[in-house]
Structure 1
């Protein structure tokens, strides 16, 4: 039985990449050393690192005046690092509260003494829509923080907020490389790798040159300027995670790049949303214009039935569709490596479940 992993992260990876990792594990490039053993100061790793960085620049069309930094600690650490590095003029940031991870970003900024103004929140709508931004007051904020894709709640920005009067900082973890955004519209982007880019342990920060190096005596592991100067090698980087990300980046290039991935993700999510919108048992609660391409949230309205769906799906090889504990229901994460066939199998299963359920009731 084929297993399709719909986990929100760590998530499914391309089969070709897993096979290449398997081949490289005993002896990377005939070095006699596993890829897990090579030094981060070696020529072997330098090649891995430089190629991964360049492939990312190519795929995302990152301008030359932006740094690409490789961190550890996930975006949770960046919720601290970003305000420390970037909130250096007004010590005040704006935030659009679109769910759990936006709230977490605001809470961490407050911990380091930065004032956080929530300009709009969709909490009253149970985060089934995105908050809106009418205008930003000039000369007030160092930046506006948004979560481009809300993994838990199943919403995503297609049109970015208008931030002419301040910088835009995006937590892009769960749709990074999954749909096209213009990097030039952001002052900084942060993204964990464990969704679309590889394995847990690596975090990407893309930040414009003129925004960094303005705060002295930052903790070294949180200092964007220091990491830029040291080419992300201030300490031992996550070697294996960078290697895995490099393979995924090459796979993405071979598949046709970000625009092709977005096209496929729209096809996959469209197939599932079309079924949900016509179902008498299942419902996709997020309003259509704000729906995520990569994290499809759906419910029956009955937690007991939801649990039956999750259990029976797993028995059919459709694993990890249980919704996040904060919202319940089900969630299918359709990242780049999830094949269209996996979504077809999920839709067929849901159709059969509904048919059998309605037949009994």
Structure 2
């Protein structure tokens, strides 16, 4: 078997220890005689997996009893519509911060359900920076303020939050569990699993309990946050295997020393890669250095005509999926929790070798 270093933005690399444990339990989970993929979601076995996943996530993120942990389906893109459908009931507007492609998609969906107040945008700066929070246009009577603290496509990330009385709703799909955050500062956090948590198919939702009262009975049952919470995320059959793998990833993270420890690893990986980019005239990163993503590192070559060669040779070297998003081009290395420092160092070594052979 030959494993490569997978820099895909999602579905992304999983820890090998997690894959190996899942492999060992694939045919017979803990003596049940069946795979998790085969067991009833109503069984005591799966209920124990679900309870374990929720408990581990609560410990890792220090989530208080003021919040419900939900496992939803449809991907974070479904939540773009599901959130305004649930949380704007009784309100006339919602505020949105536009910092990149995923923020823009969320805004487009929200407009189908409510009046969107554009709190701020860095579109005119090609999404290479973050609007000054002191100048945000916030409607104090709005339902919430939505933001995406890490734009996977553009490679922009910000850690600070605006000072507002509005509940903050955040798409943490690409940063959840990669850095320490204060959950109590958010009204809702949601995150597609396929970057830092597990396989595609489940979305983690951390919802402050008082916000559940906004969900209207007129909503489709499977979209209703309050109903989902009342049924322990099992209105219908949940993505059982994805939840099981998420629990294994949470277990792995605890073994690494938790979020505080993995954050230090992520800082070291990102610093090393950005230093290699900045130390060369052959490579460049367009993002305001204050807001560079630790998770998604885009870079360009001084000679665009060499991009295809770079991708071909990097793949042959065991460095997979370094293509930039089709909307922006260039290269992109996604270095989520499961990417070891050895993978980043292998990429840096290849970049230096490539520059030595093709640079002027």
**TM-score, normalising length: structure 2:** 0.97
Secondary structure of the structure 2 residue equivalent to 1:306: helix
Q: Distance in 1 between matches of 2:140 and 2:269?
A: 42
SS at match of 1:12: coil
Whether the aligned pair in 1 keeps the contact of 2:156 and 2:287 (CA below 8 Å) is: yes
For each residue in 1:193-225, what CA deviation from the matched residue of structure 2 results, as whole angstroms up to 9, or x when unmatched? 000000000101111011112223211111110
Check if 1:171 corresponds to 2:171. Answer: yes
Displacement of 1:141 after TM fit? Answer: 1.4
Alignment correspondent of 2:86 = 85
User: Is 2:127 the counterpart of 1:127?
Assistant: yes
Aligned 8 A contact 1:202 1:242 in 2: yes
**Given the superposition, is the C-alpha separation of residues 125 and 139 from structure 1 closer, same or farther in structure 2, using an over 3 Å criterion?**
closer
Please show how residues 61-76 of structure 1 align to structure 2 within 5 Å: 61-76=62-77
| CA deviation after TM superposition for structure 1 residue 119, in Å | 2.1
Cα offset for 1:265? 0.5
User: SS of 1:299's equivalent?
Assistant: strand
Please report how far the alpha carbon of residue 302 of structure 1 lies from its aligned counterpart in structure 2 after TM superposition.
3.7
Residue of structure 2 equivalent to 1:282: 283
User: What stretches of structure 1 of length at least 5 have no aligned partner?
Assistant: none
Task: Measure the CA separation in 2 of the matches of 1:157 and 1:63.
Answer: 24
Q: In structure 2, what is the equivalent of residue 53 of structure 1?
A: 54
Could you tell me how far apart the structure 1 residues matched to 2:20 and 2:237 are? 26
Q: 1:211 corresponds to which residue? A: 211
Measure how far apart 1:301 and its partner are. Answer: 4.4
Q: Is this contact kept in 1: 2:66–2:208, CA < 8 A?
A: yes
Say yes or no: does 1:106 pair with 2:120: no
Q: TM-score, with normalisation over the residues of structure 1? A: 0.96
What's the CA shift string for 1:62-93, capped at 9, x where partnerless?
11010000001011111111111111232311
Per the alignment, residue 241 of structure 1 pairs with 242
Task: Give the structure 2 partner of residue 7 of structure 1.
Answer: 8
State the match for 2:159 in structure 1: 158
Task: String of CA shifts for 1:91-123, please: whole Å, max 9, x gaps.
Answer: 3111111111001101111122x1112222111
Deviation of the 1:144 alpha carbon:
0.8
* 1:118 counterpart SS class: strand
Answer yes or no: is 1:338 the counterpart of 2:307.
Answer: no
Q: Please state whether the residue corresponding to 2:271 is helix, strand or coil.
A: helix
Give the distance between the partners of 1:301 and 1:285, measured in 2 at CA: 12
Partner-residue secondary structure (3-state), 1:205: strand
Which one is further off, 146-155 or 121-130? Answer: 121-130
**For each residue in 1:302-361, what CA deviation from the matched residue of structure 2 results, as whole angstroms up to 9, or x when unmatched?**
432222211111010000010001111000000000000000000000001111112xx4
The whole-number CA distance in structure 1 between the counterparts of 2:149 and 2:58 is 19
Gaps of 5+ in 2: none
CA deviation string 1:110-146 (max 9, x = no partner): 122x111222211122111123322454533111110
Deviations 1:144-171 (A, max 9, x none): 11001110000111212222x3111000
- Residue 182 of structure 2 corresponds to 182
**Aligned residue in 2 for 1:317:** 318
Partner of 2:38: 37
Cα shift at 1:180: 1.4
Measured after TM superposition, the shift of residue 60 of structure 1 is 0.5
Q: CA RMSD in A?
A: 1.2
3-state DSSP class of the match of 1:213?
A: helix
Q: What SS does the aligned partner of 2:161 have?
A: coil
